[in-house]
Copies of this chain bind each other. A is one copy, B any other.
Amino acid sequence: MSGRVDARLAELAIELPEPPAPVAAYVPFVQTGNLVFISGQVSFLGADDSLAGKVGADLTPEQGQQAARNSALNMLAHLKSACGGDLDRVTRCVSLRIYVASAPDFTGQPAVGNGASDLVGEIFGDAGKHARAAVGVTALPLNCAVEVESVWEID
């Protein structure tokens, strides 16, 4: 069935953003064999940079979770490009690496990361079950709250 994942996106009322341009000298994704490595995606959606700062200081964990979801949306926009527009070619989300700009005493990175993980699961079902690491870092590009790096298997 063609357009299976697009239909699921519509069902979830999720509209993917325009794939954001890299903020530096690299490309959004690289395919090697059937693996796609997607560059770290920040949590700003287009011109909306409201979710800036560190979780546990400037932002609540719930805002952090929203930021992680935003990063995942940017990631999915690039993934769609990597698949030539056809997300049905995704056979597995292999891994997500979730960097959370964190206050020194904030240790709730797993719940923040779920903003990205849950979205991937809702869209891809079993193929969305991924390995993951979530860590708290000092600061992220452009002062965004979350950055998500990922590896995908496509056919």
Contact between B121 and A25, CB atoms less than 8 A apart:
yes
**In the complex, chain B residues whose CB is within 8 Å of the CB of A111:** 24
Instruction: Give CA–CA (A27, B124) in the complex, Å.
Output: 14
Complex Cα distance A89/B50, Å? 45
In the complex, chain B residues whose CB is within 8 Å of the CB of A130: 26-27, 30
A87 at the interface (CB under 8 A from B): no
Copies of this chain, whole number: 3
Mask: chain A, 87-129; 1 = CB below 8 Å from B; 0 = not:
0000011111101011111111111011001100100000001
Q: Scoring A residues 30 to 49 as 1 if CB is less than 8 Å from chain B, else 0, what string do you get?
A: 10111101111000000000
Q: Tell which of B97, B104, B105, B113 touches A24, judged by Cβ atoms closer than 8 Å.
A: B113
A83 contacts across to B, CB distance below 8 A:
none
B129 touching A27 by the CB < 8 A rule?
Answer: yes
A77 on the B face (CB < 8 A): no
